[in-house]
């Protein structure tokens, strides 16, 4: 039997985001025959994503608060432009349940899950309670906000040190503090609460056991509005700095060929998604201990940065599916068995940051060329003249390589990094190159403590290969001149 993709009606879709994800969404809209509408702000009139949009609207202002984090302004523009649906990308308003609700109230489709799912999963305490109720294992500790430092100390003494103080509303790796002792909890409790209140408008904290040398493993979920929930296998994102991912791969090298663990993990993620009547794309994140027991961390009710590696091993387009799901169109996925995987994919986040300190390094791109091996995908927002400001996420691109097995994907990634030339801007490329040749990483033997323990940043070589860069430029120039 031939499985066909049903045709959909053409819609006007606005993208309330910038950077690489805005381009990615615009291309998916065009592919489906929708009209992608891009937004440009005062300081980014030449943003890359605009070239993939069919219409452009000025989102006046420069700061995030005036632009992509301004739900009223975005709603007003959407109404003025007869927008049928909004894709929020990741970050910004993507996990803002109030925004999604307001859109729906105005007859505009939010391309994401139902607002109730966003609300409950956006709170690390509520979602942990829900996971517990659904029989999904969670990290030992509390699943309600801890009201006082005395209570935090009592719980910590109970579960044993080290513990983690964690903001219920945290995200992006922020709002977390590890504590080694009772004195540490006493010293940090109030401060983490205060910082979380300032950053997330909510100072509530959980106390949980800090799992030592864990792996971060997550499961991609996709669901439609008819109750069909599928998983797209797992990704491993254990190479992290400041609790933020830098390199991700699929499948997880830690799970390896342990199909029983893989199936258990994926089915657990689906069970949780079912418990919240999930629809759209989403990710259930877990932390996996050294004995491969796993605990629910959080659910991200949006498309994630690292979604391309899942697309590479499954051949599915998650953004396309997300749009189809939100618009009530058919996904064209007959059953879970339809989703299979082959090979191995790896993603490196290319960030405008110092490769040794790993701190953001804003700057101006004075030259940009690529010369990639077969099997490479670069989702990015780069162009000569791009100014990376401290306002925006320092991530300027995602380099993705696929190979039939992990070693091949790694080999291709080394070649791809060598073929990525960014002049002017300081990036983490030298650090990524160092990791890609480091023994433990190449063996797949690493945990979330990798950067701290192995310290690949100490070996970084920051010399810029001008010879290679200009050879590539000369080649490009020669092609332009028809030589
Ligand atoms: P992912 O979860 O998709 O792997 P990140 O955790 O890096 O990737 O988050 C994606 C983007 O969203 C980043 O730009 C991050 O800074 C931002 N982000 C995520 N959650 C929050 C939050 N609660 N507050 C502010 N920014 C957030
Ligand atoms: P965020 O919303 O910021 O992404 P997460 O709960 O997903 O927060 O945690 C981010 C990272 O912090 C995880 O990938 C992991 O490295 C670390 N982490 C979180 N909870 C724990 C824990 N209980 N023990 C050890 N590491 C943890
Ligand atoms: Mg997370």
Residue whose CA is closest, atom 6 of ligand 1? Answer: 172
Residue 481 has pLDDT above 80, yes or no: no
The mean of the pLDDT values for the chain is: 95
Residue 483 has pLDDT above 70, yes or no: no
Angle, alpha carbons 293-259-401 (nearest 5°): 100
> Of 15, 232, 223, which is closest to residue 110 (Cα–Cα)?
15
Query: What pLDDT shows up at residue 33?
Result: 96
302 is catalytic: yes
| The one catalytic residue among 302, 349, 377, 406 | 302
Instruction: Work out the average pLDDT over 295-307.
Output: 98
- Ligand 2: distance of its center to the CA of 267 in Å? 21
- Ligand 1: distance of its center to the CA of 420 in Å? 25
Which ligand ends up closest to the CA of 297? 2
Assess whether the C-beta atom of 470 lies below 6 angstroms from ligand 1. no
Q: Check: pTM over 0.85? Answer yes or no.
A: yes
Mutate to test the pocket of ligand 1, among 21, 89, 90, 286 (most ligand atoms within 8 A of CB): 90
Query: Side by side, which strands form the sheet with 109-110?
Result: 55-58, 35-40, 12-15, 85-87, 109-110
Instruction: Work out the average pLDDT over 395-416.
Output: 98
Q: 165-181 in b/e burial notation, b at 16+ Cβ within 10 A? A: bbbbbbeeeebbbebee
Q: Which atom of ligand 1 lies closest to the CA of 395?
A: 14
Residue 466 has pLDDT above 90, yes or no: no
Q: d(Cα 173, Cα 8) in Å, to the nearest integer? A: 38
Percent of the chain exceeding pLDDT 90 equals 92
Q: d(Cα 340, Cα 362) in Å, to the nearest integer? A: 40
Instruction: Work out the average pLDDT over 276-294.
Output: 97
Percent of the chain exceeding pLDDT 70 equals 99
> Of 453, 464, 458, which is closest to residue 427 (Cα–Cα)?
464
Residue 462 has pLDDT above 90, yes or no: no
Task: Enter the DSSP assignment of 338.
Answer: G
Contact 47, 40 (CB under 8 A): yes
Contact 145, 168 (CB under 8 A): yes
Query: What pLDDT shows up at residue 473?
Result: 74
Helix, strand, coil percent values for the chain (each to nearest 5):
35, 25, 40
Instruction: Work out the average pLDDT over 49-53.
Output: 97
Which ligand ends up closest to the CA of 207? 2
Residue 2 has pLDDT above 80, yes or no: no
Residue whose CA is closest, atom 23 of ligand 2? Answer: 210
Assess whether the C-beta atom of 287 lies below 6 angstroms from ligand 2. yes
């Amino acid at each position: 039997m031939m499985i066909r993709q049903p045709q959909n009606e053409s819609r006007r879709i606005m993208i309330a985001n910038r950077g690489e994800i805005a381009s990615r969404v615009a291309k998916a809209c065009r592919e489906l025959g929708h009209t992608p509408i891009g937004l440009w702000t005062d300081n980014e009139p030449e943003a890359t994503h605009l070239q993939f949009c069919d219409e452009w609207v000025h989102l006046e202002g420069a700061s995030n608060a005036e632009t992509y984090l301004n739900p009223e302004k975005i709603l007003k523009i959407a109404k003025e432009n007869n927008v049928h649906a909004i894709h929020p990308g990741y970050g910004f308003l993507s996990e803002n349940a109030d925004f999604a609700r307001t859109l729906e109230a105005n007859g505009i489709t939010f391309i994401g899950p139902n607002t109730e799912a966003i609300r409950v999963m956006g709170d690390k305490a509520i979602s942990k309670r829900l996971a517990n109720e659904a029989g999904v294992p969670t990290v030992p500790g509390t699943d309600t906000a801890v009201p006082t430092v005395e209570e935090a100390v009592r719980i910590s003494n109970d579960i044993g040190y080290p513990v983690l103080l964690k903001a219920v509303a945290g995200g992006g790796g922020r709002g977390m503090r590890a504590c080694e002792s009772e004195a540490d909890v006493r010293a940090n409790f109030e401060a983490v609460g205060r910082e979380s209140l300032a950053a997330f408008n909510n100072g509530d904290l959980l106390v949980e056991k800090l799992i030592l040398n864990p792996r971060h493993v997550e499961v991609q979920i996709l669901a439609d509005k008819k109750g069909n929930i599928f998983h797209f296998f797992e990704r491993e994102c254990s190479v992290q700095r400041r609790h933020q991912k830098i390199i991700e791969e699929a499948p997880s090298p830690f799970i390896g060929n342990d199909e029983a663990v893989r199936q258990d993990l994926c089915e657990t993620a689906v069970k949780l998604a079912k418990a919240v009547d999930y629809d759209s794309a989403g990710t259930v994140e877990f932390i996996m201990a050294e004995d491969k027991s796993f605990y629910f961390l959080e659910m991200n009710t949006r498309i994630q940065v690292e979604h391309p590696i899942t697309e590479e091993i499954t051949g599915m387009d998650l953004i396309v599916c997300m749009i189809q799901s939100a618009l009530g169109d058919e996904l064209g996925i007959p059953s879970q068995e339809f989703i299979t995987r082959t090979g191995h994919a790896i993603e490196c986040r290319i960030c405008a940051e110092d490769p040794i300190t790993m701190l953001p390094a804003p700057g101006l791109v004075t030259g940009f060329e690529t010369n990639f091996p077969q099997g490479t995908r670069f989702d990015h927002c780069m162009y000569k003249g791009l100014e990376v400001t401290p306002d925006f996420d320092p991530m300027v691109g995602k380099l993705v390589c696929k190979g039939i097995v992990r070693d091949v994907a790694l080999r291709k990634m080394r070649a791809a990094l060598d073929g990525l030339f960014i002049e002017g801007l300081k990036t983490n490329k030298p650090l990524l190159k160092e990791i890609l040749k480091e023994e433990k990483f190449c063996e797949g033997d690493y945990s979330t403590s990798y950067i701290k323990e192995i310290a690949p940043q100490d070996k970084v070589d920051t010399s810029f290969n001008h010879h290679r860069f200009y050879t590539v430029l000369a080649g490009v120039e020669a092609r332009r001149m028809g030589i």
